[in-house]
Every structure is written in structure tokens, then in C-alpha cells.
Amino acid sequence: MSSSAGTPTVDVRRHRRSLVAGTVGNFVEWYEFGAYGFFATVIAANFFSATSTSDAESLIKTYASFALAFFFRPVGAAIFGRVGDRIGRRPTLILVLLLMTLSTTLIGLLPTYATVGAAAPWLLTLVRALQGLSAGGEFGGAVAIMTEFAPRNKRGLYGAWQSLTVALGLLVGAGLAAILATALSTEALHDWGWRVPFLLALPLGLVALFLRLRLEETPNFARVQAVEEREPAGKVEVAKAIALGIGRLMGWSAAGYTFLVVMPSYLQSTLNATFQQALVATVLANLGFAVSIMPAGWISDRVGRRPVMVTGAALVVVLAFPLMNLLQDKDSSNAAKGIAVFVAGLVVGLMAGPGPAMLAEMFTTRARYTGLGLAYSLSNAVFSGSAGLIITELIKRTKNIDIPAWYVMITCAISVVALLTLRGDDHQRELKD
């Protein structure tokens, strides 16, 4: 349906609305997860240490809490995915957003170890579990919304917006952390400054809620719902697709969190960088990530998901050790190190851009919310949420500072094999009902 000159068609309005409403919740989610990662050493001192200092042991406990939230993601993906595939994407995403906003805001209000003692880490872990549930229900619904509204030849581009909001959320979280670290004294930052990013989730969440209330149901879901006797999705086929999806995503999950979130703590605890230096490095990595996401999604609409994502995973395998060694070299200039972390983020973006569309194309409408949500959340639970814990613990035990390079290289090598099973024309086909 068209309208007068200068006025967008109804479809264009619906498409734009789906993009904004789909991505805004993801932005809030990753803004918070980024803030938690960037303030990991401060949170460790406040919630996991009786001495108000962040040692290796308290940092490991902080990352354990971080990982636990990720392991609640598959639970959230299963629960909210089933609801979203039965009653609709729109109402489910509204419920998920409310839970996410509430749990994130609560982190900024929690009492610390100095106030309530050993109860503090348990309270933090409980709230992180609620966040994990909401985050698990967010990705599947948001990607379903965007790709089901997208024109067939633009699914990669539309889905890439979901990954871009990951970069934007992490960048805003890092930027705010850098501002607070610069503007506040160390005492003020540890006392109350770290709470600010989490409390800001409340107004952000209210804006996101307003946008989601204006969202319409997707045409794919409406079409399936209109069929009186719906054919249930085959459980075996869905399970196989989920397992394959995890293999295709694990490199993106591991490299993304290692380079974009875990890096600040690694630079501080292992390479003796300052908090400010670590945050600058993280901002540069996330800038590289953001720069490549949209072009990668757009190119995948033309040449296919497989060549773009395989290139990204293969580049991580090739560049992991040279980039890490450059960061470890005390004689390397700050400019060279800045370029290294920027390139690291750039190659991860080659996987993240086409990734959402690739997942959406693996499942039918009857199982898409659940299937792609579980594939993504399980991959993130194992290879993202555990990245900080695995890397920190292995460095502590082995004294090998190359552990991050080994971690991303091995996971991306496995992903290359899984990605090679993609069909070359998936990007040209209609989504399956």
C-alpha cells in the first residue's frame, strides 16, 4: 500500500517500528551486561570480599555469578520461547522487557558485603539469575520480529541491527564506566559510582516499553495462527538444528565476550593496565565490532551467510596469537595496541552481522522463537558467560597469559567446520512456516 509523496508506506512504517522495538530491549540488556563486565573488579570488591579489595579469588566469584546468569538464559529461552511461539512475539517481548528492567535496576539498589555480609553475593546472584531468564527470552523474540518483518533480500541487514545494539549497548556501558572512572575518585567509584549504570536501566526500560507497546504482531506468526489445525514443530528436527546452531555460534560467542567484555579485567589483572587504559581498549574493540556488523549483514544478503561468517571465524583463528602477543609486548606503542583491539572487534563483527538472520533461517515460524533463542542462549551460556571464569581460572592455575588466544582460536576453528555446512542459497529463500 502506498501513500502520498514524501510519506512512507504502511509496510515501511511497520518495518521501521519492528526494528526499533526489536532492538531497544537488546540494547538495554547488553548495556547492563557490559556494565557488569566493565565494573567486575569493583563489584568483586563490594560483593565478594570482606576486605573491600578485589583479589583473584573474588574476581573469579564475580565471574561465576556472571556465568550463572548466562546459564539461566536457556531456561528463559525455553520458557519465553514456548510462550512466544504459542501466543505471539509482541506480548512475550513486553513481559521479558519488564523483567529485565526490574532486575537490572535492583542491582543498583543491592546492599554490599560491608552492609549485609555473606548475604550480599547471594542477593546479587539471585538478581543475576532473573536477568538471565529475561535475556534468554529477549534474543529469540527480537530476532523473530525483525527477520519476519524483513523483506527476503534484507534479512541479513535487518538481523544485523540486533547485533549492532550489542555493540552500542557495550559501548554506552563502557563509555559511562570511563566517564565515572575519570570524574569520580576511586573511593566514590567503589562506594556509589558503580551503581549509576544499573539505576539508569529504569528510564531506559520505560522508553523501551513505550516502543514495544506500539509493536504489531509479525505477518508470519499471524499467518500460522490463522490455520485452525497447526502442525506441531518436529522436536527431533528442532533439537538437531539447535545443536548445529550452537556449533555455528560458539566462535562468535567466545571471541565476542573475550575481546569485548572480558578484556578489561584481563588487561588489569594480568597485564597490569590501569582501569582507564582497559576501558579505552574495550571502547576501541567495540568500535571495531560496531563498524563491521552492518556491512557484514548487508554483504551476506548478496553473497550468502556462509562466506562472510566463515571469513570472520577463520580470521580469529589466524590473528588470535599475533593480536594477543602485541598486547603483551611492553615495547608496543599504545597506537599499535589500539589498532590490535580494534581489529579484534572488527573480525567478530563479521560473524555477528549475518548471525541472527542465519539462525532465523534454520527454524520454522512454529519453532523460531524457541529454536533460535535456545541455540543462541546455550552457546552464550557455555562460551560467553563462562569466558571470564574459564580464562581467569586457567591463567591463575597455569600462569599462561596466552589462554585468551587459545580459547578464541579453538572455538572459532570448530565454528568454521559447522559454518561450512550452511547452504549457499539460504539467504535467497523465504522463511519457513
Whether 264 shows a pLDDT value over 70: the answer reads no
Whether 7 shows a pLDDT value over 60: the answer reads no
State whether residue 330 is helix, strand or coil: coil
Least confident of 23-37, 207-221, 419-433: 23-37
CB 43 within 8 A of CB 62: yes
For position 419, what pLDDT does the model report?
96
Give the mean pLDDT of 361-385: 90
Whether 2 shows a pLDDT value over 60: the answer reads no
User: Between 88 and 29, where is the model more confident?
Assistant: 88
Mean residue pLDDT across the chain: 85
For position 172, what pLDDT does the model report?
86
User: Cα separation of 106 and 251, whole Å?
Assistant: 32
CB 184 within 8 A of CB 49: no
For position 170, what pLDDT does the model report?
76
User: Cα separation of 375 and 7, whole Å?
Assistant: 39
- Terminal CA-to-CA distance of the chain, rounded, Å? 24
Distances (CA, A) of 403 to 32, 343, 387, 391: 26, 19, 11, 6
